[in-house]
Amino acid sequence: MKKTQETLVVQKVSIVSRGKMEDENENRTHIRNQALQLFMQYGARSVSMDDIASAVGSSKKTIYQYYTDKDHLVGDAIEKALQDNCIQCKEYHQISDNAVHEGFLAIEQTSELFRNMNPVLMNDLKKYHPKAYRKFLDYKNGFIYDVIVANIKRGIGEGLYRDDFNIDIVAQFRVGSIDILFMPEFYGKVKEGMSQVQQEVFYFFLHGMATAKGQRLIEKYKKHKPKNNSDAKD
């Protein structure tokens, strides 16, 4: 009987602890998500902890229970954004009908991201939050590079991309072109925003390595953006 009572007490404590942990995780997630929205809209430097507290609907003291300082919060928010992008890239590879389709799915998602992103964010990370910026660089030069290489090899195998170029050089060129989007001087003579610029760079990249069959798919998808597998049929 005594053991049964002790077991019940342990179970109750465990349930309470688990519930408390879930609440803490929810609070942390809410803070991080609200902060990320603000960083995307206004950049990291101009958003204060007071701004974040106001968006969250709590006090700064509450936020500091989960994050030691703003740099910690910025790093967590950027890491979350990169994780989400990683999941989406893997999903596009799985659901896409061909390499060109995969690229168009990814570029549509990226366009939506850039439409809601202040271009100063990346410069803010580079200047004021180097740890978060390093996470972005590692992700871009590691995971994104590997995704591009895999897509090129897939496209060559499908007869959509040519096979007479150096894959590593072309993939590195594509990765490097991402940096253009965050160069303020680039927009001196360009009227379009980040979303349109990255689309044009993407089209240029695809056309440069596409076969005649691939060119036809590119033009088809430019006119009718594919949303799922059924739209990708040639």
**From CA 104, how far away is CA 225, in angstroms rounded?**
7
Model confidence at 11, in pLDDT bands (50, 70, 90)?
Answer: low
pLDDT score at 194: 77
Set out the domains of the chain in order of their start, with CATH numbers.
Answer: 69-232 (1.10.357.10)
pLDDT score at 232: 44
**From CA 171, how far away is CA 141, in angstroms rounded?**
10
Per-residue pLDDT reduced to its tens digit, 158-211:
999 999 999 999 999 999 998 888 887 777 777 777 788 888 999 999 999 999
| 167: amino acid identity, one letter | I
Per-residue pLDDT reduced to its tens digit, 146-161:
999 999 999 999 999 9
Contact 125, 74 (CB under 8 A): yes
Kindly tell me if the per-residue pLDDT of 10 is higher than 80. Answer: no
Alpha helices per DSSP H over 44-193? 49-56, 60-64, 70-95, 99-115, 120-128, 130-139, 145-157, 167-177
The residue-averaged pLDDT of 207-230 equals 85
Give phi and psi for 210, each to the nearest 5.
-85, 145
Query: Rounded to the nearest 10 degrees, how much is the dihedral formed by the CA atoms of 85, 98, 196, 167?
Result: 80
pLDDT score at 138: 96
Q: Give the residue among 184, 180, 178 at the shortest CA–CA distance from 139.
A: 178
DSSP label of 143: I
pLDDT score at 2: 56
Kindly tell me if the per-residue pLDDT of 22 is higher than 90. Answer: no
**Long-range contacts, 192-195 (Cβ 8 Å, 24+):** 193/114, 193/115, 194/114, 194/115, 194/117, 194/119, 195/111, 195/112, 195/114, 195/115
Contact 199, 107 (CB under 8 A): yes
Model confidence at 61, in pLDDT bands (50, 70, 90)?
Answer: very high
Contact 74, 40 (CB under 8 A): no
Per-residue pLDDT reduced to its tens digit, 83-140:
999 999 999 999 999 999 999 999 888 877 777 788 889 999 999 999 999 999 999 9
pLDDT score at 162: 97
